[in-house]
Amino acid sequence: MKKSISALAIVCVISMNAQTNSPIKYPETKKGDVKDTYFGSEVNDPYRWLEDDRSKETEAWVKTQNEVTFNYLNNIPYRTQIKERLAKLWNYERISAPFKEGNYTYFYKNNGLQNQSVLYRKDKSGKEEIFLDPNTFAADGTTSLANLEFSKDGSLVAYSISEGGSDWNKIIIMDAVSKKVLEQPIVDVKFSGISWLGNDGFFYSSYDKPEGSELSAKTDQHKLYYHKLGTAQKEDKVIFGLNEKRRYVGGGVSEDQQYLIITSANSTTGNELYIKDLSNPNSKLETIVDNFNSNNYIIDNVGSKLYIVTNLNAPNQKIVTVDAKNPKPENWKDFIPQTDYVLSPSTGGGYIFANYMKDAISQVVQYDYEGRAIREVKLPGVGSAGGFGGKKTEKELYFSFSNYVTPGTIYSFDPKTGTSKEYQKPKVDFNSADYESKQVFYTSKDGTKIPMIITHKKGIKLDGKNPTILYGYGGFDVSLTPSFSITNAVWMENGGIYAVANLRGGGEYGKKWHDAGTQMKKQNVFDDFIAAGEYLIAQKYTSSDYLAIRGGSNGGLLVGAVMTQRPDLAKVALPAVGVLDMLRYHTFTAGAGWAYDYGTANDNKEMFEYLKNYSPVHNVKKGVKYPATLVTTGDHDDRVVPAHSFKFAAELQEKQAGENPVLIRIDVNAGHGAGKPISKTIEENADIQAFTLFNMGIKKI
């Protein structure tokens, strides 16, 4: 075993520093002698000590790694230029769709570069005021508004805040009219909605605070609580999850306040479904679905008639109806049957809107509550539409529309006539007419056709020299649909191509597509991504010298696996907040809930060997020339703990051959991404783009 040295000892390696062409001096990370045994196989884990996010040694390692990284980034000549352009492009007013609560109309607004959007309201006279300004929660903008819910009459509001990007939240309760805080915050809340029962109190979910670090210790028993206003949190009643051990539990009250609806799950796919009649104090909790074999949720009800969205025997989802008195699946009746396209419905204005995804593109059909198709909603173009939600009494609804070259625009929609008009069009300093998006279908290793959308300036030369970012995710039933991004706009302004591949493991084609990229089929996802890169190269969009692969979270795993399997494919690798240690991911926070997608190393010998075979941390080999790599993470990420990224970076720095740099950028006081202040987002993306272009040999932009 290599002799342990201080975490702060410095060693010269042959990666080259920006601009100076001098060797980068990485902090050499000490190695321990920790070993684990799985089914008779011994696995070394020399960097286990980096999992301790509370230790001074880890803190010192983070500081020293950041010093090396920012020293490199500071020497890239156009880094400041990219940052300034990002800030200029981001500096436009953004206003959300309005929503009515009580006697007020609320909306979010950001004047451009505010770290967090501000919640405003207007009274019936049109007088406007700030209702809640999250920028006042913390001086550096790192405390964000995570959730907000009004009582049915709009007189009370409860909102949750996230500090430093953590998933652990606090709930604050206010009188919505006077804006007076009513009682002490509800603390230690995680993965929770807020749902009011009249003005008496509300339901929320959380775990018991774990022993050890709250940012990394395992949490696996979620509970649904009821908080009665005017009482202490310690008196909150457990409604579900005390006797039933579930990793994810959620509860909400129906719009008519008649039912409490509870979902419970042990993984991110498949859930039980329960209902309780709140109009009868003596009613019991009724089971609708008693297993985890399908995804099910109640979208609405009319009296005792329930409208349930399910993928039970319908991999693309459908809506069924059933009477709440006999709600078991054998009594379900198809309401909006399954089609060839994945369904994601919403309700508002007394209608149901079936949002279908055809090859990752939106199509919306409006239905009444009798199941009659009223119309296909005319959308502004080819792209992603979302919204169409609201109370049943609303006369006007709103939806958003976007694609890779069209900034997100909000439209008002009259559900009676089907007419829509522009409500809020952002004034972005970007000329969409100069750019184009094209959807292609390429062939993966096993012959499966995979869609990919390629976006760039019009008139580019297909000469293999275009800087290209290939982005992917490929997991957890998540669909990557076209959307506009300031970050991508700046990348394309500077001559870059942005390509998004809709890999298996995602939700673009329903449950079958998702399942084709899970557990023992996870390699399909990596093969799909590799084939996407090979397609871009074969078609002369780019070449390996000008290709960067990028992804975050499960997409960070994707990048880590592909760069270790095919280090020759891309010049630059950008794994963000990635799941990179596949043998131990399930031991942190709520990671065990990801087992539907991944399986765990404890399942059986075959699953262990499969995971070890692609786990990025375990597949870095000494003497291999890996791409120039910028690993990014946040020190408060309690979704995918930063130890994944720490250990991967340490392995790469020790074993990298050649001159490509391997750096890790650790955002301090930041989490998995949600609620990140705009200032930090701009800085991070400027660094990523500058690093990418510089390592492709681009001298100026």
Q: Rounded CA gap, 399 and 386, in Å?
A: 5
Residue 176's closest CA among 152, 194, 193?
152
Rounded Cα distance, 663 and 72, in Å:
9
> Nearest Cα to 216, choosing from 696, 647, 699?
647
Q: Which of 227, 456, 514, 672 is catalytic?
A: 672
* Long-range CB contacts (within 8 A, 24+) of 109-118: 110/678, 113/87, 113/678, 113/679, 114/678, 115/140, 115/141, 115/677, 115/678, 115/679, 115/680, 116/141, 116/144, 116/145, 116/675, 116/677, 116/678
Residue-by-residue DSSP string for 487-541: HHHHHHHTT-EEEEE--TTSSTT-HHHHHTTSGGGTHHHHHHHHHHHHHHHHTTS
- Residue 277 carries which side chain, given as an amino acid letter? D
Tokens 């509300």 correspond to 202
For the question of residue 672 being annotated catalytic, the response is yes
- The dihedral sign for the CA sequence 68, 70, 72, 74: negative
Cα separation, 413 vs 505, whole angstroms: 34
Nearest to 110 by CA among 127, 130, 128, 124: 130
Sign of CA dihedral 315, 445, 478, 107: negative
Strand segments, DSSP code E, in 19-177 are 23-27, 35-38, 41-44, 94-95, 99-101, 104-110, 118-122, 128-132, 143-150, 156-163, 168-175
Give the type of residue at 495. Answer: G
Dihedral sign for Cα atoms in the order 649, 652, 655, 658: negative
Find, among 309, 344, 340, 299, the residue nearest to 513 by Cα: 340
Q: Which helix (H) or strand (E) holds 28?
A: none
Of 247, 332, 326, nearest to 292 (Cα)? 247
553 catalytic residue (yes or no): yes
Distance CA 295, CA 309 (A): 8
- CB-CB contact of 438 with 389 (8 Å): no
Phi/psi for 101 (5° steps) reads: -140, 120
d(Cα 95, Cα 216) in Å, to the nearest integer? 36
Active-site entry in 206, 362, 402, 553 = 553
Query: What is the dihedral angle through the alpha carbons of 587, 573, 611, 600, rounded to the nearest 10 degrees?
Result: 30
What tokens were used for 355?
A: 């949002």
Q: Which helix (H) or strand (E) holds 692?
A: helix 678-695
Task: Give which of 326, 328, 323, 369 is closest to 345, Cα–Cα.
Answer: 369
> Which residue(s) pair with 469 in the sheet?
498, 548
Q: Which residues does the annotation mark as catalytic?
A: 553, 672
